[in-house]
Amino acid sequence: MATKKLKPNTPGTRHRISPVFDDVTTNKPLKSLIAGKNRNTGGRNNNGRITSRHRGGGHKRRHRIIDFKRNKFDVPAKVQTIEYDPNRSARIALVAYADGERRYIIAPNGLKVGDTIIAGESVEPDLGNALPLMKMPPGTFIHNIELVPGQGGILCRSAGTVAQLLGKQEKYVSIKLPSGEVRLILGTCLATVGTTSNPDHMNTTKGKAGRSRWLGRRPQTRGVAMNPVDHPMGGGEGKSSGGHPRSPWGQSSKGKKTRNRNKLSSKYIIRRRNVKK
C-alpha cells in the first residue's frame, strides 16, 4: 500500500495525501458478516451530557464481525478478498475454511488473495498463521496478541503495528510492543505472525477540516483561546495567556504519570515504554 499526492485543484486537495487502495479487491462486504452499529452517542451519556468531547456526526457505518480469537484450529483457510473496513485503520481479509465457514480476520501485510493460512497448536510460524506464543521461535514478528488465553487478540491491531517475541522463560514469553515496552505474556496466548496491513496509514494527510467531520470528529478549541472560567489556560490580555499545559480539569498534560503504582499488571512489565525527553 502506498500514498498519492493529489493535484491541487481545490484548497481541500492542495495538502491532501490520500491512501491508495490497490490492495483492496472488493468494495462489497459479505452480508452475513456485517451488522448494524449502535446509534452514535455524540459523546453523550444517558443524561444527555457530553462526557467525551469533540465527537459527533460522521458517515454511517456498518460493523464487520472480525474473528480476533482465531480459534478454528487445524482447518486450513483460503483468502478470498482483502477489504476496507471503515471501523479500523488496517485492512481485513475474508477467509474461507475448508469446511465452508467464512470469517473476517485482520489482514497481515503481504497477505494476498489465494494464500492459505491456518491456526493451531503446532502449525508453522508463517505469515497469517495463528499459534501459541510458546510455539514461536524468538525474533518472530507478530500482531493481534492475546493477553488472556481465549480472550481474543487485543494488542497490535491497528495499521502497520507489530510486536516482536524476544525470548521465553518458564510459562511466559517476553514481547517487545510497538511503544518500546517489554512485558511478559502467558505462553499459551495466541498471536498471528506478521505485521498488520496498511503501514502507510500514518503518512496520510486529511487536507481539510471536513474530512475529520466525516470521521465523526468535531472541532477542538484551544484552551488559551478560552476565558478563565472555561479553562485553566484561558484569559489574559492579548497573547499573554497560557501557563503550564493542563486539561480543562487542571491535570497536567505534558509528562505527568497517571498509571496506578499498585496496578497488578505492573509485575509483568520488564521495561517501560520509550519516553520522550
Question: Is residue 55 a contact partner of residue 216, using CB atoms and an 8 Å limit?
Answer: yes
Q: What are phi and psi of 244, to 5 degrees?
A: -70, 135
- Residue 238 CA from chain centroid, whole number: 41
Question: Is residue 92 a contact partner of residue 107, using CB atoms and an 8 Å limit?
Answer: yes
What pLDDT is recorded for position 258? Answer: 86
Mean local confidence (pLDDT), 46-70: 94
Domains of the chain: 3-201 (2.40.50.140), 221-277 (4.10.950.10)
Full-model pTM? 0.91
Q: Identify the residue whose cell numbers are 487502495.
A: 21
> Which residues in 110-250 belong to E strands, given as ranges?
116-117, 130-132, 141-143, 163-169, 172-176, 182-186, 190-193
What pLDDT is recorded for position 276? Answer: 61
What pLDDT is recorded for position 257? Answer: 86
Hey, what amino acid is at 16? R
Assess whether pLDDT exceeds 70 at residue 153: yes
Q: Is 213 left (phi over 0), alpha (psi -120 to 50) or beta?
A: alpha
What pLDDT is recorded for position 243? Answer: 86
Q: Which residues pair with 50 in a beta bridge?
A: 44
| Distance in angstroms (rounded) separating the CA atoms of residues 201 and 88 | 11
Which range, of 42-51, 138-147, 179-188, 241-250, averages the lowest pLDDT? 241-250
Mean local confidence (pLDDT), 224-239: 91
Mean local confidence (pLDDT), 213-230: 94
- Residue 52 CA from chain centroid, whole number: 19
238 pLDDT band, cuts 50/70/90, is confident
| Distance in angstroms (rounded) separating the CA atoms of residues 217 and 224 | 21
Assess whether pLDDT exceeds 90 at residue 196: yes
Q: Which residues contact 43 (CB under 8 A, 6 or more apart)?
A: 50, 51, 52, 53, 54, 55, 56
